[in-house]
Amino acid sequence: MTTEGRLVLTPNMTRVPIGLMAIGLVAAVIGLFINSERVWLNLLVDGFYVLSLGVSGMTGTYDPENQLGFVLLGADFVMRLDPVFLRAEYLVRRTEMSLGDDPASRFRYGPGEDGEFDDFFVKEGWYAELEVPIGRVDLVGRWDGLRRRGNVARQSPLRSDSILFRSTAAFAYRLHGALRLKLSAEIYDFSDFDDELALHLGIAGPF
């Protein structure tokens, strides 16, 4: 089950009724905790969706004994300023893990200030993307991030707080119909490894 809020503007309306949007967002959050699924708020102007806000959540266990739990929360955002699109999304997950009988021999990092090993780790991921069509060319700029906080296995090269950033610049040239020539450059910024540069060139089309 999902919950939706919709706000419709006509061309004669010049300002967004912020109060109505706030009411819709509150209702969406309430619906999220009731249904534990995605809820969203859409802004409709002259027949086109120009703004979409969504939130989602999930919780449960992932091991056969149903002892180790996780909580997953997310939010997404899409704005259309014809013909430009701006998209963004954020996810966070807290996952419990088994410490075993001797965590000091299993994990790379020792206990915290309280003398106890944390029995969970947290992962976060996000991106923001701008798409600008200009004639037969689509220009895309994107920024991604991934972060992990928590203990790791003794042999792991990761820190207790690791992060990765990726910056992408790309363009796609429409050759014919849905057939496109694509070129992109990606810069990877690692906290634990050497940085990387990746270049991609290809032709893409429907199957």
Let me know the angle formed at the C-alpha of 189 by 185 and 191, rounded to the nearest 5 degrees.
165
> What is the rounded radius of gyration, in angstroms, for the C-alpha atoms of the chain?
22
pLDDT beyond 50 at 31 = no
Judged on CB neighbours under 10 Å (0-12, 13-18, 19+), 17 is exposed
Could you tell me if 42 and 67 lie in one domain? Answer: no
pLDDT bin (cut points 50, 70, 90) of residue 83 is: confident
Domain boundary among 52, 73, 91: 52
Cis peptide before 206 (omega within 30 of 0): no
Residues 40 and 89 in one domain: no
Q: Which domain holds residue 157?
A: 62-204
| pTM for this prediction | 0.75
Residue 184: half-sphere exposure toward Cβ, Cα within 13 Å: 20
- Does residue 100 belong to any structural domain of this protein? yes
| Mean pLDDT of the region 116-132 | 95
Are 93 and 124 members of one domain? yes
Q: Is the pLDDT of residue 128 over 60?
A: yes
pLDDT band at 47; cut points 50, 70, 90? low
Residues 99 and 184 in one domain: yes
Q: What distances in angstroms separate CA 160 from CA 118, 125, 130, 142, 145, one per listed residue?
A: 11, 16, 32, 27, 17
137, 199: one domain = yes
Q: To the nearest whole percent, how much of the chain has pLDDT over 70? A: 77
Interval 145-194: pLDDT, tens: 999 999 998 899 999 999 999 999 999 999 988 899 999 999 999 999 99
Is 50 exceeded by the pLDDT of residue 131?
yes
CB atoms within 10 A of CB 73: 15
In a domain, 171, yes or no: yes
Q: Quick check: is 136 in a domain?
A: yes
Is residue 57 in a domain? no
Q: Is the same domain home to 30 and 92?
A: no
Residue 61 · residue 70 · CB < 8 Å:
yes
Regarding whether 197 and 140 lie in a shared domain, the answer is: yes
Q: Are residues 164 and 101 in the same domain?
A: yes
> What is the chain written as a DSSP string?
--EEEEEEE-TT--S--HHHHHHHHHHHHHHHHHH-S-EEEEEEETTEEEEEEEEEEEEEE-STTS--EEEEEEEEEEEEETTEEEEEEEEEEEEE----S-HHHHBSS---TTS----EEEEEEEEEEEEEEETTEEEEEEEEEEEEES--BTT----SEEEEEEEEEEEEEEEETTEEEEEEEEEEEESSS--EEEEEEEEE---
Do 89 and 146 belong to one domain?
Answer: yes
Whether 87 and 10 share a structural domain: no
Same domain assignment for residues 48 and 66: no
Q: Are residues 34 and 75 in the same domain?
A: no
Please give the tally of structural domains in the chain.
2
